[in-house]
């Protein structure tokens, strides 16, 4: 007698499982998406029970509901491991200034950029932050993102940073996308500390981090075993290497797991620091010199590249993702969605850019957006691949060949989104 399950998905051209149970994919493994033709997937409750050849699944399972994939391909829900999606307002004026020649760091040095979003966030209520961010999360979900990390960093004072954490928690409990929180009090030096980066660094360490940690202890994230990460923008004009180290070490003492924005514009040695501290990920890597690639390749730290930023800043220079992969680094992709450097909710667009400017094959781009992205936020035991026991976060694409995700661009190829076993009605 076949076992009764809630859902069986069948009539698929391809199921790309992206499975990699023993760690993130590296080197030539990134070219393997673990493709199964004419497969089926059995789902019970929130979880995948089995994935395999159609006839085997049909012999073993009977679905209370069946879902005909109509000859299309199925892949894991995308994981976006680096976002600043909680914010208020926009920066369209700054976009026009950049079109006319101002640089991102010049705008920031003049008190705009991250600081201008901080003004908007400081005066927004939690419900306003939730409402504005909800719309962006909906856009991400329609484009296939089912799990995302979200950073604070637009409060830049203790209460406003806590307000952002509260907004992230509320969104996680109400929006279908699964969220993981990152404390990024060291995102920029706020105006009231201009020229006093050391004093602001002390504030982050002495006041903000203990407050964030105390908040986390009482949050549903801790009860559910979801970590709190600590991130720093390590850059000239933001936090130098010594300040970044102090902040991340203080976070570690409180149990916050390090992440770091490194080598976006200036190479300050963030990769070596990340690896030394056992950071979960090191993100951006735009100007990481070749001599540092092996440091990452020999480590467990995931390298996250964010090519929508280069595209948005109109830069012809991209992180050398090809070189990093070939040096053995575990590479992931992310949108970096934020109002300044990347107002972009789309992982498929990121894959399309990575394929063209970073020479990633569609398979590499998909693995970097699913299983490796899950490792970049310590969530690979739950999400990032289609494997028995994991959350049933699945996408039925509008193409029989998953490679079209990176090949086509400008059209949404995500047809159906299934989150924790539920087929979502996205209107």
Task: Kindly tell me which of 18 and 319 has the beta carbon lying closer to Fe ion.
Answer: 319
Cα separations in angstroms, 288 against 241, 293, 377, 390 = 14, 7, 21, 34
Task: Kindly tell me which of 72 and 164 has the beta carbon lying closer to Fe ion.
Answer: 164
- CB 187, CB 154: distance < 8 Å: yes
Task: Kindly tell me which of 117 and 358 has the beta carbon lying closer to ligand NIG.
Answer: 117
Question: What is the Cα–Cα distance from 207 to 201, expressed in whole angstroms?
Answer: 10
Q: Does 152 bind ligand NIG (CB under 6 A)?
A: no
The tokens 């909710």 sit on which residue? 345
Task: Kindly tell me which of 336 and 364 has the beta carbon lying closer to Fe ion.
Answer: 336
Total of residues contacting ligand NIG (CB under 6 A): 13
- CB 83, CB 338: distance < 8 Å: yes
Residue from 117, 281, 367, 372 in contact with ligand NIG (CB under 6 A): 117
3-state DSSP call for residue 225?
coil
Alpha-carbon torsion angle 112, 116, 117, 120, nearest 10: -170
Residue 113 binds what, of Fe ion, ligand NIG, none (CB under 5 to 8 Å, by partner type)? ligand NIG
Task: Kindly tell me which of 269 and 340 has the beta carbon lying closer to ligand NIG.
Answer: 340
Tokens of 369: 């957006």
Q: What is the nearest approach in angstroms of Fe ion to the Cβ of residue 309?
A: 8
378 phi/psi in degrees, rounded to 5: 55, 35
State the residue number with the nearest CB to Fe ion.
336
Q: Does 261 bind ligand NIG (CB under 6 A)?
A: yes
76 phi/psi in degrees, rounded to 5: -65, 150
State the residue number with the nearest CB to ligand NIG.
340
Q: What is the nearest approach in angstroms of ligand NIG to the Cβ of residue 207?
A: 22
Residue 390 binds what, of Fe ion, ligand NIG, none (CB under 5 to 8 Å, by partner type)? none
Question: What is the Cα–Cα distance from 283 to 270, expressed in whole angstroms?
Answer: 9
Residue 358: alpha-carbon gap to chain centroid: 18
Binding mask 325-354 for ligand NIG (x = CB under 6 A): -----------x-xxxx-------------
Question: What is the Cα–Cα distance from 156 to 250, expressed in whole angstroms?
Answer: 17
Q: What is the nearest approach in angstroms of ligand NIG to the Cβ of residue 341?
A: 4
Task: Kindly tell me which of 225 and 314 has the beta carbon lying closer to Fe ion.
Answer: 314
Task: Kindly tell me which of 282 and 405 has the beta carbon lying closer to ligand NIG.
Answer: 282
Q: What is the nearest approach in angstroms of Fe ion to the Cβ of residue 69?
A: 35
Question: What is the Cα–Cα distance from 214 to 208, expressed in whole angstroms?
Answer: 10
- CB 184, CB 233: distance < 8 Å: yes
Task: Kindly tell me which of 57 and 308 has the beta carbon lying closer to ligand NIG.
Answer: 308
Q: What is the 3-state secondary structure (H, E, C) of 77-134?
A: CEEECCCCCCCCCCCHHHHHHHHCCCCHHHHHHCCCCHHHHHHHHHCCCHHHHHHHHH
Q: Does 259 bind ligand NIG (CB under 6 A)?
A: no
Question: What is the Cα–Cα distance from 137 to 89, expressed in whole angstroms?
Answer: 15
Q: Does 175 bind ligand NIG (CB under 6 A)?
A: no
Q: Does 84 bind ligand NIG (CB under 6 A)?
A: yes
Binding mask 336-365 for Fe ion (x = CB under 5 A): x-----------------------------
- CB 82, CB 149: distance < 8 Å: yes
Nearest-CA neighbor of 390 among 134, 143, 79? 79
- CB 55, CB 61: distance < 8 Å: no
Q: Does 263 bind ligand NIG (CB under 6 A)?
A: no
Q: What is the nearest approach in angstroms of Fe ion to the Cβ of residue 184?
A: 8
Q: What is the nearest approach in angstroms of Fe ion to the Cβ of residue 105?
A: 14
Task: Kindly tell me which of 90 and 198 has the beta carbon lying closer to Fe ion.
Answer: 90
Q: Does 309 bind ligand NIG (CB under 6 A)?
A: yes
Alpha-carbon torsion angle 48, 51, 54, 57, nearest 10: -60
Residues 282-341 that bind Fe ion (CB under 5 A): 336
Q: Does 367 bind ligand NIG (CB under 6 A)?
A: no
Q: Which residues bind ligand NIG (CB under 6 A)?
A: 84, 113-114, 117, 233, 261, 264, 309, 336, 338-341
Q: Which residues bind Fe ion (CB under 5 A)?
A: 336
């Amino acid at each position: 007698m076949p076992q009764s399950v809630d859902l069986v998905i069948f009539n698929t051209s391809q199921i790309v499982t992206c499975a990699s149970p023993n760690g993130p994919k590296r080197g030539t493994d990134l070219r393997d998406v673990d493709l199964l033709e004419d497969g089926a997937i059995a789902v019970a409750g929130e979880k995948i029970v089995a994935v395999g050849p159609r006839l085997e699944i049909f012999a073993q399972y009977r679905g209370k509901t069946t879902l005909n994939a109509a000859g299309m391909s199925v892949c894991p829900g995308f994981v976006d491991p680096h976002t600043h999606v909680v914010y208020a307002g926009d920066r369209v004026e700054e976009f026009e200034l950049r079109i006319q020649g101002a640089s991102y760091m010049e705008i920031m040095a003049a008190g705009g950029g991250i600081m201008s979003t901080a003004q908007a966030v400081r005066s927004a209520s939690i419900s306003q932050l939730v409402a504005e961010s909800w719309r962006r999360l909906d856009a991400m979900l329609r484009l296939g993102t089912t799990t995302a990390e979200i950073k604070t960093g637009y409060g830049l004072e203790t209460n406003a940073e806590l307000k952002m954490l509260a907004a992230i928690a509320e969104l996680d409990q109400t929006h279908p996308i699964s969220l993981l929180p990152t404390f990024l009090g060291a995102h920029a030096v706020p105006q009231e500390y201009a020229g006093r980066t050391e004093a602001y660094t002390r504030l982050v360490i002495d006041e903000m981090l203990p407050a964030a940690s105390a908040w986390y202890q009482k949050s549903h994230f801790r009860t559910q075993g979801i970590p709190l990460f600590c991130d720093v923008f390590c850059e000239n004009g933001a936090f130098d290497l010594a300040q970044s180290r102090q902040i991340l070490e203080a976070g570690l003492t409180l149990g916050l797991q390090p992440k770091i924005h490194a080598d976006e514009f200036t190479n300050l040695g963030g990769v070596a620091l990340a690896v030394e501290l056992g950071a979960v990920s090191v993100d951006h890597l735009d100007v990481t010199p070749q001599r540092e690639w092996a440091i990452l390749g020999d480590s467990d730290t995931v390298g996250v590249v964010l090519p929508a930023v280069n595209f948005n800043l109109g830069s012809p220079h991209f992180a050398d993702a090809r070189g990093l992969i070939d040096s053995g680094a575990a590479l992931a992709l992310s949108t970096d969605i934020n109002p300044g450097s990347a107002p972009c909710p789309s992982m498929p667009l990121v894959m399309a850019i990575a394929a063209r400017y970073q020479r990633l094959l569609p398979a590499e781009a998909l693995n970097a957006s699913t299983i490796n992205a899950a490792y970049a936020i310590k969530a690979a035991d739950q999400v990032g691949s289609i494997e028995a026991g994991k959350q049933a976060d699945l996408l039925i694409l509008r193409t029989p060949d998953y490679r079209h995700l990176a090949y086509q661009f400008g059209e949404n190829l995500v047809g159906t989104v299934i989150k924790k076993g539920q087929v979502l009605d996205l209107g």
